[in-house]
Structure 1
Amino acid sequence: MDVRRLRILRELADRGSVTAVAAALNFTPSAVSQQLKTLSREAGLEPTAPDGRGLRLTAAGLAVVDGAQEVLDALGRLEETAAGLREQPLGTVRVVFFPSAARLLLPGLLHRASAHPGLAPSCRDLDLRPEEVPAAAADADVVVTHHDERLDPFSTGRLTVHPLLREPLDVALPPDHPLAHRAEVHLPELVAADWISVAVGWPVDDVLSSLSLVTGTVPRVVQRINDFSVTEELVAHGHGARLALRPLAGVRAARLVRAVTRGAVTRPAVRLALDELAAEAAAVRAAG
């Protein structure tokens, strides 16, 4: 099977549409479709099937993609060796952070990276739903993301997960709330509270949904705000409860902060950036 066509199939798995693959690879959609048809003949199976006006991967196609990832990782390592980059990690490393992780980790990462001449992190903030992470990992070298600790949305073999932090999530109450003086709060005590969460399907809202399943309590969400600084202002002025500041008793409430890469890490510069990111996360943990 032609490696270029395997790359195209992997892109389809991660990006979800022929149009998105064509845009990423500077192909026309018809050229992408033709390459996938040729791959089908080479492999002697049907890796894709019609899905409305587009294509979806079949079970056989998903299996081929998982196997192709190993091939592409090996080729990446070979390319790095041939380029002589193993001894000196040079180049740009594209890193995506969700906004609050950028506030927490990015300044320290940039400081650490400055000690390595030639290492150039290129960073942006982008809040992602878990299902959007594979496409982001196709465009970036490292994606720092988060999710409820009871979930594992990145179990696909095409993604490699690098743990960074476990962040306990508490409840923030207005200063004059009757429970604000308590050392900890039980979720049933907040059944009548007005909650502020984020948009449905976004990380942190999944934690609230998970708590609902565990406790049988359904929080009444009255505002959905993705910017935590706005939420903090609303809570401070008495407009709701949100996960922060007061421990929730009787349940585990936490999100996992993880770095995700597509496949194995083959570039020394990316490996070094991940090592420094992990070191910064460890410093944050040590600082409490």
Structure 2
Amino acid sequence: MNVERLRILRELADRGTVAAAASALSLTPSAVSQQLKLLAKEAGVTLLEPDGRRLRLTDAGHALVLRADEVISALDRAAAEMASYGNSPRGRVRVALFPSGAALLLPGVLGRLSGSGTRVDASDEDLPASSVSALLADYDVVLTHRDDVAPATAAMRIEVVPLMREPIDLVLPPDHALAGQGSVDVRQLAEERWISVRGGFPVDDVLLSVAAATGVQPRVVQRINDFRVTEELVARGHGVALMPRFAVVHPRLVRLPLKGVKAGRIYELATRPGAHRLPAVAAVIEAFRAEASQVTGNA
């Protein structure tokens, strides 16, 4: 089977539509459709079937996408191995990171990789863990986070490396009635006004756990995904918030651990299956692991 046609099939699986796959590959939709027809002819089975006005993968198509992952990964490893015999850099690794995780880990990761020949092209992507599969269509490594009790991000076409756990704490203005306590029981928070994040992110998942423990639906007055904005709103008395421990930098805020719920987020690195065997990707993963270990060890 033609490798480039396998790449096209994988793009379709990643992006969902012929038009999106064509745009990613700088091809026309008709060219993509023609290549997929030729691939089906080579495979001897139907790979796609109509689904309304779109196309979807058949069972055989899904199976071939998994094999396409393996073939393309093997070719990438071979290219990396050949490059190691020359004087070329170890390669470019595209990394997506959620913003607060990037602020915490990326500077140290770049420092650890300085002079190694591995180049990191980093982009901030403020998306929930459910979007990892889509992000891997454009990135080699995705730093993601999930709630303590949420299932791991790993799936059939996603491999995951656990990095660290970060507690999620309550943040209050200094004049709040609870500010003098050493910790806060969630039952004390039933009547608070909350500044939270959009749904699907770990902080909001913990707030749902608070609701389950108290039996009271939280009164969310603002939903802001930028923690710097959240800190300013809390500091000026517009509500209380849950924030990851290492993200709190405002000098006036009081940070208290929660009692009564499991409150934390898990950092994970997601890649395509087998990508960790590429030298450049392996170097990036190791740099993240070392930096996460240092952060948690110094906490």
TM (normalized to structure 2)?
0.86
Q: Distance in 1 between matches of 2:212 and 2:63?
A: 33
- 1:1-288 matches, within 5 Å, as 1-84=1-84, 90-116=90-116, 118-152=117-151, 154-213=153-212, 216-244=215-243, 245-265=255-275, 266-288=277-299
Give me the CA root mean square deviation. 2.4
Q: Distance in 2 between matches of 1:150 and 1:173?
A: 25
Given that 1:184 and 1:247 are in contact with CA atoms closer than 8 Å, whether structure 2 keeps it comes out as yes
Q: Give 2:250's aligned residue.
A: none
Given that 2:93 and 2:119 are in contact with CA atoms closer than 8 Å, whether structure 1 keeps it comes out as yes
SS of residue matched to 2:166: strand
User: Structure 1 vs Structure 2: percent identity of aligned residues?
Assistant: 52
Q: Distance in 2 between matches of 1:234 and 1:158?
A: 40
Q: Distance in 2 between matches of 1:213 and 1:206?
A: 11
Amino acid at match of 1:274: I
Given that 2:97 and 2:142 are in contact with CA atoms closer than 8 Å, whether structure 1 keeps it comes out as yes
Q: Distance in 2 between matches of 1:209 and 1:197?
A: 11
Q: Distance in 2 between matches of 1:200 and 1:243?
A: 14
Q: Distance in 2 between matches of 1:172 and 1:282?
A: 25
What stretches of structure 1 of length at least 5 have no aligned partner?
Answer: none
Q: Distance in 2 between matches of 1:144 and 1:31?
A: 34
CA deviation string 1:183-233 (max 9, x = no partner): 222222211111111123344323333544566442121100010000011
Cα–Cα, structure 1 residues 87 and 161, in superposed 2: closer, same or farther, change >3 Å? farther
Given that 1:88 and 1:268 are in contact with CA atoms closer than 8 Å, whether structure 2 keeps it comes out as no
Amino acid at match of 1:234: L
SS of residue matched to 2:127: coil
Paired positions, count: 287
Moved more, 81-90 or 278-287: 81-90
SS of residue matched to 1:170: strand
CA deviation string 1:86-131 (max 9, x = no partner): 9986222222221111111111112111142x22222222211223
TM (normalized to structure 1)?
0.89
Q: Distance in 1 between matches of 2:178 and 2:225?
A: 25
Cα–Cα, structure 1 residues 54 and 237, in superposed 2: closer, same or farther, change >3 Å? same
